[in-house]
Amino acid sequence: MQSDAPQTARPGPAKPARVALVVTSTLVVRWFLLEHIRTLARSFAVTLIVNNDAPELAGVLPCRIVSLRLERDIALLADLRACASLWRHFRAERYQLVHTLTPKAGLLGMLAAWLAHVPLRLHTFQGEVWVTRRGALRWLLKNLDRLVAWLATDLLVVSASEREFLIAAGLIPAAKSRMLNHGSIAGVDCGRFKPDSSVRAALRAELDIPDYAPVFLFIGRLKRDKGVLDLARAFAALAREVAACQLLIVGPDEDGLLSEIEQTCADCRTRLHIAGLSAVPERYMGASDVLCLPSFREGFPVTIIEAAAAGLPAIGSRIYGITDAIVEGETGLLFEAGNVQQLALSMRTLASDVNLRKRMGQRARERALRDFPQEELTAALLAHYRQLLARQGL
């Protein structure tokens, strides 16, 4: 018998929240965001907006990829066009959350999302460009960061010391910002970055480096504000005293510094090894003994904790971000940024004491495994998204 009572329609399954991540470089995606995006895409409808075509990402990411020209440097007309394109896209797609992760993406993405009335606008601060600038450019870049913080509804900062610095500088409010877990943008894949004696032997044989030789490693973009020229000068001084030491430099030469590096190390050129951009940085870490990062600005250098997971101590400049990644005297050594003599002394200390290197490397690995597993950082980001969306009733 059929009932005449009105039938109440059952609601269908809720649609996943629509989320957009905006970055300026596919390198940032490859280095930091792959696992984040894969995990987020299981809970949300994720779109990645990235500079220019990214066909190499299409087969490895379970999300929609939108290409858009986003210049890393200041280019007023191109920036205005990019901002307008983002605004039109955000208006059409009606995202619940837009997350920007690099400085230019932050400025254009937050402005476009604000104009498009996106309810949740999240930006991640990870090292401030203006810190190494002077004069009017410093003032401009600093105030653009202040504008990004004002446009965003929520902020993430990748290290405790960077967050303290930005709050003290009056750029971000404490109540609007937070750090996930122990910091960093992505944590470290401890299954990928680990000590490996076979990799060490193979790459050293390939580069003609004796097993006993202490190898100092730099991995990152070759830029002046990364301190790579200071590293070359310190190594040249060290090489005159420690005949076996070697320097291995891995990364893209963005500032055209290679010829100057080679000239600086002319007297020890056979012990200087240059590699370009690599998709397997763990291989070079496996063949090295100490990571060096003499940078002038960092948010939280993931390279240091990746090297730590591979069992390497680190030498870094005493600046915010790096002081979160290195426990001085325990997992590595710190020196005053720009002080080549102090850097050379720190390198000499570790070059001459294999037991100290091993002890610091072991402690660094223990800390990386305990505090910075990638899966825990990704889980924290997922939980943060859910918290933000729940706050808006989305």
Indicate whether 82 belongs to any domain. Answer: yes
Residues 323, 230 share a domain: yes
Residues 124, 207 share a domain: no
DSSP SS3 for 47: strand
Indicate whether 13 belongs to any domain. Answer: no
Indicate whether 5 belongs to any domain. Answer: no
> Up-side HSE of residue 347: CA atoms within 13 Å toward CB?
33
pLDDT of residue 12: 53
Residues 139, 229 share a domain: no
Indicate whether 226 belongs to any domain. Answer: yes
Residues 367, 378 share a domain: no
- DSSP 8-state secondary structure symbol assigned to residue 318: S
Tokens 């990799």 found at: 199
Assess whether pLDDT exceeds 90 at residue 52: no
Dihedral, 382, 384, 386, 387 alpha carbons, nearest 10: 160
- DSSP 8-state secondary structure symbol assigned to residue 390: H
pLDDT of residue 1: 45
Residues 268, 124 share a domain: no
Strands 215-219 and 290-293: parallel
Residues 66, 163 share a domain: yes
Assess whether pLDDT exceeds 70 at residue 370: yes
Residues 332, 275 share a domain: yes
If one counts the domains in the chain, the total is 2
Residues 231, 90 share a domain: no
Indicate whether 8 belongs to any domain. Answer: no
Q: Which pLDDT tens digit goes with each residue over 243-295? A: 899 999 999 998 999 999 999 999 999 999 999 889 899 999 999 999 999 99
Q: Give me the percent of the chain exceeding a pLDDT of 70.
A: 95
Q: How confident is the model at residue 31 (pLDDT cuts 50, 70, 90)?
A: confident
Q: Give me the percent of the chain exceeding a pLDDT of 90.
A: 85
Q: Which pLDDT tens digit goes with each residue over 151-188? A: 999 999 999 999 999 999 999 999 999 999 999 999 99
Residues 165, 257 share a domain: no
Instruction: Determine the length of the chain.
Output: 394
pLDDT of residue 25: 85
- DSSP 8-state secondary structure symbol assigned to residue 131: G
pLDDT of residue 15: 85
Looking at residues 25-46, what average pLDDT do you find? 93
pLDDT of residue 191: 93
For 329, the domain range is 197-371
Indicate whether 71 belongs to any domain. Answer: yes
Residues 36, 150 share a domain: yes
* CB-CB contact of 57 with 74 (8 Å): no
pTM listed for this prediction: 0.90
Indicate whether 6 belongs to any domain. Answer: no
pLDDT of residue 323: 97
Mean pLDDT of the chain: 93
